[in-house]
């Protein structure tokens, strides 16, 4: 336990943080793996780790690296066919986690921050500014994002494929996906996606809805 940020608690407080892996289908969700996140100062305090029964081989790992470890363990058991990965903006920051997924040919839709760099060239560097400048009101589409405890969730979505002139003819596509609640258009969630070209919009938006 340490003082650290918890999204569930809404701030920094003494707590434990876990990184969870869940399998989601139209029938529901089930946890399939988990890792306890050890803050660096705790992981480097070996007497404290032994007192808490943490194995000596357990060392500090950032949350995206813990997610990668779990995915590596799950990979041999994945069914045939298209399996998408969804993750929050902790994993979306920096690009390393997305690079890991692309290396394993796993399509994804990952939450990112509003200032995420879309492409390393002028006009594509700040996702929120790009959406403000390009997205017109008539381009937002109302689509469900999967069921919840309160019933089906409906969001307004703006999804665009990212042009990549360096990609080959058989390369997978990249997308920007933005969602907002109909009653709160100023509050937006931003995502980047990667997957087979020609993927339907309805399939793309279901991925973050399952997270």
Residue with tokens 């100023």: 186
Q: Quick: pLDDT tens for 45-92.
A: 889 888 888 888 888 999 999 999 999 999 998 887 779 999 999 999
Q: Quick: pLDDT tens for 128-159.
A: 888 888 899 999 999 876 655 555 678 899 99
The terminus-to-terminus CA distance of the chain in angstroms comes to 25
Res 129: pLDDT: 87
Q: Which of 23, 19, 24 is nearest to 6 (CA)?
A: 19
Whether the CB-CB separation of 119 and 179 falls below 8 Å is answered with no
Residue with tokens 């336990």: 1
Q: Is the pLDDT of residue 14 over 70?
A: yes
Q: Is the pLDDT of residue 2 over 70?
A: yes
Whether the CB-CB separation of 97 and 87 falls below 8 Å is answered with yes
Residue with tokens 């959406």: 131
Res 20: pLDDT: 94
């Amino acid at each position: 336990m340490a003082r650290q940020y918890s999204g569930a608690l809404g701030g920094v407080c003494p707590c434990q943080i876990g990184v969870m892996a869940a399998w989601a289908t139209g029938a529901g969700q089930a946890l399939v793996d988990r890792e306890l996140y050890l803050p660096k100062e705790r992981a480097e305090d070996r007497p404290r780790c032994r007192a808490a029964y943490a194995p000596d081989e357990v060392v500090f790992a950032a949350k995206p690296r813990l997610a990668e470890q779990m995915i590596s363990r799950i990979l041999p058991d994945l069914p045939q066919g298209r399996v998408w990965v969804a993750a929050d903006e902790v994993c979306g920051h920096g690009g390393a986690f997305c690079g890991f997924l692309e290396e394993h040919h796993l399509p994804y839709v990952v939450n990112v921050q509003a200032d995420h760099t879309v492409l390393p060239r002028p006009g594509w560097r700040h996702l929120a500014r790009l959406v403000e400048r390009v997205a017109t009101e008539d381009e937002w589409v109302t689509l469900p994002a999967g069921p919840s405890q309160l019933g089906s969730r409906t969001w307004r979505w703006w999804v665009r494929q990212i042009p990549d002139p360096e990609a080959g003819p058989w390369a997978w596509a990249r997308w920007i996906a933005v969602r907002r609640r109909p009653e709160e258009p100023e509050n937006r969630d931003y995502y980047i996606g990667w997957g087979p070209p020609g993927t339907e919009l309805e399939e793309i938006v279901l991925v973050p809805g399952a997270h």
